[in-house]
Each structure stands twice: as structure tokens, then as C-alpha cells.
Amino acid sequence: MAAANTLVQVKNLKMHFPIEEGLLFRRQVGAIRAVDGINFSIRRGETMGLVGESGCGKSTTARCIAQLYKPTDGEVLFEGADLCKASRQQLLKARMDLQMVFQDPYASLNPRMTAGAIIGEPLRIYSKRGILKYTKRDIQKQVEELMEKVGLSRFFVNRYPHEFSGGQRQRIGVARALALNPKLILADEPISALDVSIQSQILNLLNDLQEEFNLTYMFIAHDLAVIEHISNRVAVMYLGVIVEIADSKALYKKPMHPYTKALLSAVPIPDPAVERRRKRIILEGDVPSPDTERHGCYFYDRCPNAMPEKCENNIPQLKEIEENHEVACFLYFDP
């Protein structure tokens, strides 16, 4: 992959949340290993999908890239600059090009602010700090244009979040993310809290905005059908690590990792004849606790193809098995 085409590069990213005990004298007795050493890149203009079970570290990964969480270890290179080591001022400027759309449209908007104030807040912050030069009239005009871009009437500018539906609130969140004309938007399950009919509207909106503004997305979702529809490439995450990365069509046509195969086998196909012939892969056991350091394959406890001599005490790293198709599994190479 050409370096010039890479917008974000994540190297050995870790996010461990400490487990503490004691009331007066607190001491750390362990850590939740939410993200445990992942590597991937996001190319300019693409949509990178990130899928996996609840609690596997998808949202934490997005928040680490945006530096809402300060990673325990690793690097997040955004246009070559490491955000993990950036100063407060450097990070402020970088965030003009890196914005988030949050999962819950009910919780991500300030209920005491109007829609216009919420969308215009990034412009006011950067104007106040002298990075942008917007007057109040400029901000008002920009807010009204953004509202119409995302399918909201400019006459709703003085309404409060509780006066909007869930889909309309998410459109406000998208407009806020667009306010600074970013290069990358981290979309953290932006449609999971919405009705199915509204989900398609938001997906179409994101596609239209990507073409118009040449945006790059990292799109997190549980719904594998949605990921297939919107993504150019897909990364599959399990227990804080990435187990497979491939182009969307290749991943869905020929999944390689046992966990990816199990995930895709659970996706219903709207063809009764095909659905009857398919065999669902049922994984045994529960997801292991993320507070335990792993010395072997993270999927070993539930893998139907586990090889004790290889998998129990060796951690597989992502390796390119086919063109643009990386897998972390000893089924395809030796430790």
C-alpha cells in the first residue's frame, strides 16, 4: 500500500483500563484489556468497516484514534503525525480533520442546547481560539447550510433535541461532525439505535456525503449486512485483537478465520432455498474475560479448529495469505 494513500495507521494499539481496589489507598490489581495490540490502516476515501461481538473493543478503538481515550501503548499516525504524542494544540488542530458520530443520538447531544448551537459549536470553539475566522453571522449561515445538507429544515435551528426523532437527532450529529470539513469520520454504530427504515436513510446520507466531500469513514456496526453494503474493506475484531482484514467482497465470499466464518454463518440470507442448505456454525462457550493476559490464540477456547500444539501457547499475528487478505490463524501458516 502506498504511504501517500494512507490516512491513518494504527500500530500496536493497546487500551487497558485499570482494575483498582481499596477506598483510601487505591491500588491496581489488574486491567481490562479492551484493545490488546492491533495494527491496521485506513486509506483515503475508503470506508473501513469494523465488526465483532459486543465488548470486543470496537468503540474503544475509535475513541483511542480520536484520543478521547489516551492509549496505554502504541501509535496512531494521522497523516504521518502520532496523535498519541501530540501536544494539546497539535491535537486541537488534528481534530479539525478527525470527527466522530456517536452511537446514541439521545445521549450524544446536549439537551440544553438548540440544534443550531450544537452544530455550530465546533465553529465557535475554533473561531474563539483563532484557528478559524467566523463571525456569528458566518456561523449561522454555515449551520443552516449544514442542516439542509443532512436533510433537516433550516427552520428547525432553534429546536431542542427532545423535539426531534431519533433519525433527526443522528442527522444533527452528522452535521456537527461535518462542520469543520474533516477528512475522516469515525462512525461508532451510528444506526444501531434507529428503526430499520431510518437506518437506510442514514446510510444513504453517509454515502452521499462521502461522494460530495471526499470523506473517509471508519464504520463500526454489529450488522454484517450493513457492513457489506457500506464498506470497501472490513476488519474483524475479537477480544481486543483483529483476526482478519480483507476487501469487503473477498471477506464475504471467502472468509478464512474460524471466527469470521461463524459470524457470517449467522447472517440470514433472503432466499429460502439457500438458507435451508446453509449450516450454522455454533460456537461453544462464552467469550473469555478480557482481564486475563493471553499467551496463545485469543480464539483458542472457542475455536472448532483449535490445534493445541500450535494455538495454546503461540499468538498468531496478521499475515497476508492472499492479495489484500490478512488473517491471524495458524491454519494458514506455522508459528
The residue type of 261 is K
Q: Give the pLDDT band (50/70/90) at residue 281.
A: confident
Q: Give the pLDDT band (50/70/90) at residue 3.
A: low
Give the full edge-to-edge strand order of the sheet including 319-322: 98-101, 184-188, 216-220, 47-51, 233-238, 241-247, 325-327, 319-322
pLDDT at 285: 81
CA–CA gap between residue 54 and residue 266 (Å, rounded): 15
Q: Report CA dihedral (60, 180, 213, 65) to the nearest 10 degrees.
A: -20
- Listed residue (42, 6, 79) closest to 242, CA to CA: 42
Q: Contact, 123 vs 132, CB < 8 A? A: yes
Mean pLDDT for the chain overall:
92
CA–CA gap between residue 270 and residue 280 (Å, rounded): 15
CA–CA gap between residue 329 and residue 316 (Å, rounded): 6
Q: Contact, 48 vs 233, CB < 8 A? A: yes
pLDDT at 275: 67
Going from the C-alpha of 264 to that of each of 52, 231, 302, the distances in angstroms are 11, 15, 16
pLDDT, one tens digit per residue, over 149-177 is 999 999 999 999 999 998 999 999 999 99
Q: Report CA dihedral (210, 211, 213, 218) to the nearest 10 degrees.
A: 20
- 79 by DSSP, 3-state: which? coil
Judged by average pLDDT, the poorest of 142-151, 178-187, 261-270, 271-280 is: 271-280
Q: Give the pLDDT band (50/70/90) at residue 1.
A: very low
194-200 average pLDDT score: 84
301-308 average pLDDT score: 93
* 298 pLDDT above the threshold of 70: yes
Neighbours of 21 (CB within 10 A): 10
Q: Burial, 237: exposed, middle or buried (Cβ in 10 Å; 0-12, 13-18, 19+)?
A: buried
Going from the C-alpha of 299 to that of each of 34, 281, 283, 325, the distances in angstroms are 15, 15, 10, 19
Neighbours of 43 (CB within 10 A): 16
Q: Contact, 310 vs 335, CB < 8 A? A: yes
pLDDT at 181: 94
* 332 pLDDT above the threshold of 60: yes
CA–CA gap between residue 123 and residue 132 (Å, rounded): 7
**pTM for this predicted structure:** 0.92
pLDDT at 24: 81
285-313 average pLDDT score: 92
Q: Which 8-state DSSP code applies to residue 189?
A: S
pLDDT, one tens digit per residue, over 11-59 is 999 999 999 988 888 898 899 999 999 999 999 999 999 999 888 999 9
Strands 27-43, 6-21: pairing is antiparallel
* 236 pLDDT above the threshold of 50: yes
C-alpha cell at 2: 502506498
